[in-house]
Amino acid sequence: MTNSPLYRGRFAPSPSGALHFGSLIAALGSYLDARSNQGQWLVRIEDIDPPREVSGASKTILNTLEHFGLKWDGPIVYQSQRHEFYQHQLDLIVSKHHGYGCDCTRKMIMQAGGLYQGHCLGKESLGKKQLTSPHSIRFHNNHGVTNFVDRLQGLTEVAQDFACEDFILKRKDGLFAYQLVVVLDDIEQQITDIVRGSDLLEVTTRQLTLLNYFDAPTIRYLHLPLAINSQGLKLSKQNHAMALNMQNPKGQLIAALAFLGQNVNEQYQDLSIDELLIKATDNWQTSQIPLTVPPLAEINTN
pLDDT of residue 266: 83
Tell me, yes or no, whether 36 and 60 share the same domain.
Answer: yes
What does the pLDDT look like over 138-197, one tens digit per residue? 999 999 999 999 999 999 999 999 999 999 999 999 999 999 999 999 999 999 999 999
Query: How many residues does this entry show for the chain?
Result: 302
Residue 145, in any domain of the structure: yes
- The DSSP letter of residue 58 is H
The answer to whether the CB of 223 falls within 8 A of the CB of 152 is yes
pLDDT of residue 184: 98
Question: 96 CB contacts (<8 Å, ≥6 apart)?
Answer: none
Tell me, yes or no, whether 12 and 133 share the same domain.
Answer: no
pLDDT of residue 2: 46
How many CA atoms are closer than 13 Å to the CA of 77, on its beta-carbon side?
A: 22
Q: In whole angstroms, how far apart are CA 256 and each of 203, 208, 261, 293, 296?
A: 25, 29, 9, 11, 11
* Below-50 pLDDT ranges, the chain: 1-4, 125-128, 298-302
- Record the pTM: 0.91
Tell me, yes or no, whether 126 and 50 share the same domain.
Answer: no
The answer to whether the CB of 120 falls within 8 A of the CB of 104 is yes
Question: 279 CB contacts (<8 Å, ≥6 apart)?
Answer: 268, 271
pLDDT of residue 68: 97
pLDDT of residue 297: 54
Q: What value does the mean pLDDT of the chain take?
A: 90
CA distance linking residue 288 with residue 284, whole number of Å: 9
> Pick from 131, 161, 180: which residue ends a domain?
180
* Domain boundaries, position 210: 8-81+188-298
pLDDT of residue 15: 95
The answer to whether the CB of 76 falls within 8 A of the CB of 10 is no
The CATH number of residue 47's host domain is 3.40.50.620
